[in-house]
């Protein structure tokens, strides 16, 4: 998973784990805690999270107990992945024509799971609990412009994005997918980390209020992917596919959110990096010039001393 943030002055060592979970964590008590943060998109979200105060989980190092739990769950077996892919196929086949058209226009291809290599550390994009009650609309205020069009909700009927409250101590767990075609790979990762390893990640007694994906890409891609995902969730509980364990939107609401702003922030970030690089390059050149000027000053001092001796010898200077 993505890990775009670094908080060296806030990171608490995994040798001193929070009793409610084993993942590394950072305590953010003010947007000012983000002053060293370099990613504009996540800054917008995390600054909102930090306003009421929050705890962010990021890295979970896999130990033997977790390895046994993953193995016992069956989610890493070839059989599970084949059944998962079969459900994706069935979900996407319903929208084949739209997918083909979108592929011709934008190259959208929804990928399937490949054999997974052994993982020693999991990384979470946005796994946050709060010190006070808050709500989703406040947290995502800066990246969701049109909730009616940009937010798809799966699971419990009557759930509203605008009025979805998060109680003190509850978590929201969202992952970022830059490529719409990778959405089901991300869903697999969400299931593995927040369903199978939930107790290890954030603690057995903690509650996840909402899960979801923040998706980049074009509007048409978002619409098609959301249809495929809705169909997938309806198939996942079918005994034919046997996808237990799988995240259950009926139990924990699942949100798919369209956040194309990363394109803009990506350009901004690239520009910032370019400007910083140029300034660093100029600083290096100025340092070299300073060194040369120092050498010239030394030579001028030496020349002045020599000329003084010559003039004194010629009795030009008394």
Q: How far apart, in whole angstroms, are the C-alpha atoms of residue 5 and residue 41?
A: 11
Q: At what angle do helices 96-106 and 219-236 cross, to 10 degrees?
A: 150
In a domain, residue 69? The reply is yes
In a domain, residue 70? The reply is yes
Please give the structure tokens belonging to residue 44.
């917008």
Contact assessment for residue 21 and residue 55, using Cβ atoms and an 8 Å cutoff:
no
In a domain, residue 211? The reply is yes
Task: State which residues form the domain around 199.
Answer: 25-259
Number of structural domains (the chain) is 1
pLDDT of res. 256: 96
In a domain, residue 45? The reply is yes
Residue 237 has pLDDT above 70, yes or no: yes
pLDDT tens-digit readout, 112-169: 887 766 778 888 889 999 999 999 999 998 888 899 999 999 987 889 999 999 999 9
Q: Where are the alpha helices (DSSP H) in 109-252?
A: 136-139, 147-150, 183-191, 198-202, 219-236
Maximum distance among all Cα pairs of the chain, rounded to whole angstroms: 111
In a domain, residue 19? The reply is no
Phi-psi region of 114 (alpha: psi -120 to 50; beta: other; left: phi over 0): beta
In a domain, residue 288? The reply is no
In a domain, residue 5? The reply is no
pLDDT tens-digit readout, 168-182: 999 999 998 888 888
More confident: 8 or 64 = 64
Does this model's pTM top 0.85? My answer is: no
Half-sphere exposure of 279 (CA within 13 A, CB side): 6
In a domain, residue 198? The reply is yes
């Amino acid at each position: 998973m993505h890990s775009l943030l670094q908080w060296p002055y806030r990171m608490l060592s995994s040798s001193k784990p929070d009793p409610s979970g084993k993942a590394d964590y950072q305590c953010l008590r003010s947007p000012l805690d983000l002053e060293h943060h370099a990613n504009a998109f996540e800054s917008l979200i995390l600054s909102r999270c930090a306003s009421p105060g929050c705890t962010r989980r990021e890295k979970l190092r896999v130990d033997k107990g977790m390895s046994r739990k993953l193995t016992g769950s069956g989610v890493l077996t070839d059989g599970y992945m084949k059944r998962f892919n079969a459900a994706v196929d069935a979900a996407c086949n319903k929208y084949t024509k739209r997918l083909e058209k979108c592929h011709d226009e934008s190259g959208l291809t929804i990928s399937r799971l490949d054999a997974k290599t052994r993982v020693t550390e999991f990384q979470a994009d946005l796994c946050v609990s709060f010190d006070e009650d808050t709500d989703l609309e406040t947290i995502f205020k800066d990246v969701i412009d049109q909730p009616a069009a940009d937010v798809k909700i799966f699971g419990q009927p009557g759930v509203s994005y605008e009025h979805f409250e998060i109680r003190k101590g509850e978590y929201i767990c969202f992952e970022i997918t830059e490529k719409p075609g990778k959405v089901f790979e991300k869903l697999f990762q969400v299931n593995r980390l927040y369903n199978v390893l939930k107790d290890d990640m954030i603690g057995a007694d903690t509650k996840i209020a909402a899960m979801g994906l923040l998706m980049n890409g074009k509007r048409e891609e978002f619409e098609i992917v959301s249809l495929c995902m809705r169909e997938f969730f309806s198939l996942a509980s079918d005994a034919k596919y046997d996808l237990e364990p799988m995240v259950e939107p009926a139990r924990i609401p699942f949100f798919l959110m369209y956040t194309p702003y990363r394109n803009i922030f990506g350009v901004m970030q690239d520009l910032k990096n370019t400007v910083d690089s140029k300034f660093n390059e100029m600083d290096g050149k100025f340092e070299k010039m300073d060194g040369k000027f120092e050498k010239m000053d030394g030579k001028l001092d030496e020349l002045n001393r020599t000329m003084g001796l010559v003039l004194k010898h010629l009795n030009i200077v008394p």
